[in-house]
Copies of this chain bind each other. A is one copy, B any other.
Amino acid sequence: MELLKQRILSEGRALSGHVLLVDSFLNHQVDVNLMKAVGEEFARRFANAGVTRIVTIEASGIAPATMTALAMNVPMVIMKKAVSSILSEGILQREVFSFTRNAPYLLTLKARFVRPDDKVLFIDDFLANGEAAFGAIALIEQASARVAGVGTVIAKAFQPGMRKLREAGYRVEALAPVSRMGEGFIEFE
């Protein structure tokens, strides 16, 4: 997605070979018009995939997932990273390791919000090692639903997540797949 790649090149900052800062338009300050375009692009790419539901993980995935759900006219479900005191009955959980936080969290889904006849598109802001995506997929399949695919705004294609998801048979669409980066440069596939 050219518009997105240009924005990453002009405002993104590779802090190292594996940390890409895009907090001026994607995950701290959010350009909602860009997110609308992102949602429409995911909707276009998965138009024939029979998607009935968007699933994301709090918090940075919510804006692009909201726009994708709006473009596809389906509900959106936010998987939680911790159990609040309100959630209790009928929940599915799976431990996921976060490399950003260097700690595990309990990915949590109320089972009734993903149904056995659903075809689910998982949307997130970043795909790197694939921990979050594989955790989300496990919960979706535990709810007996099918996975239509994974849509990520940015993929760090030099990390193993995208390859492993495709090897496992899942369709992955990355709007900006970064092949290589470092101080002062960002390259796309």
Would you list which residues of chain A between 3 and 21 have a CB under 8 Å from chain B? 15, 19, 21
Chain B residue at minimal CB-CB distance from A81: B59
Assembled-state Cα–Cα distance A15/B28 (Å): 33
| Cβ contact within 8 Å between A77 and B28 | yes
Over the window 133-163 of chain A, the binary record of Cβ atoms lying under 8 Å from chain B Cβ atoms (1 yes, 0 no) is 0000000000000000000000000000000
A interface, how many residues as a size bin?
A: 35 or more
Binds B, one of A29-37, A44-52, A164-172, A180-188: A29-37
Task: Let me know if A62 is at the binding interface, CB within 8 A.
Answer: yes
Chain B residue at minimal CB-CB distance from A57: B59
B27, B70, B101, B102: the one within 8 Å of A36 (CB):
B70
Would you list which residues of chain A between 70 and 91 have a CB under 8 Å from chain B? 70, 73, 75-78, 80, 84-87
Expressed in whole angstroms, the minimum distance between the Cβ of A184 and any Cβ of chain B is 18
| Cβ contact within 8 Å between A113 and B28 | yes
Task: Let me know if A107 is at the binding interface, CB within 8 A.
Answer: no
Residues of B near A102 (CB, < 8 A) are 85
Task: Let me know if A174 is at the binding interface, CB within 8 A.
Answer: no
